[in-house]
Amino acid sequence: MQITNTQNNYGLVTILLHWVMALIIIGLFVIGKIMHDMDYYDPNYHVFPWWHKSFGLLIAFLFIFRLIWKWKNPKVSHIKPNKPIELKLAKIAHALLYLLILICCISGMMISTAEGAGIEFFGWFDIPALVANGEPQAELAGEIHETSTLALIILASLHMLAALKHHFINKNNTLKRMLSSKIN
């Protein structure tokens, strides 16, 4: 199995980053919705946020690695014959996905560090607070986080539907290339 990208296919690292990040982001969204409805007396009131923050930081680290990996690897060519409008929409959607992941990560950190405390990463180390402006910071970052995570899930769902359209309607290898590095 090819580790790095080629002009025709995604490599194993790119494929794993894509799917691992997708699964974690979906899980974070679900846990975030559950946390939103919890009260102080819920037994998971402190447990879920700890996991949410740790996996949120993992997404931030994977995102940085993914950007570096993308920059260092060859760009995978588009499958022909995609329509020019589809290529343009795909490029815009991918850019927005990256932007929304960045916004979600930053706003999540701003919520968690608003009071000046760092964020614990799976009990291994803490990420320190860079800015700590208390409740106003937490409220603004919370609104941004809620809106950006919802937008991210909606856009990711459209991304998934587009991949399924290419697979079942266009019958091309768009989806297969993100499942295996051996597709031509």
Q: 115-131: b or e for each residue (b if 16 or more CB lie within 10 Å)? A: eeeebebeeeeebebee
CB 22 within 8 A of CB 178: no
- Residue 1's pLDDT is 77
Is residue 38 in a domain? yes
Question: Number of structural domains, the chain?
Answer: 1
Percent of the chain with pLDDT over 70: 98
Confidence band (pLDDT; 50, 70, 90) for 184? low
CA separation for the pair 120, 58 (Å, rounded): 11
Structural domain boundaries enclosing 118: 12-177
Is residue 139 in a domain? yes
- Residue 182's pLDDT is 73
Is residue 155 in a domain? yes
Average pLDDT over residues 36-58: 95
Average pLDDT over residues 81-96: 91
> Tens digits of per-residue pLDDT, 92-134?
999 999 999 999 999 999 999 999 999 999 999 999 999 999 9
> Tens digits of per-residue pLDDT, 32-45?
999 999 999 999 99
Is residue 123 in a domain? yes
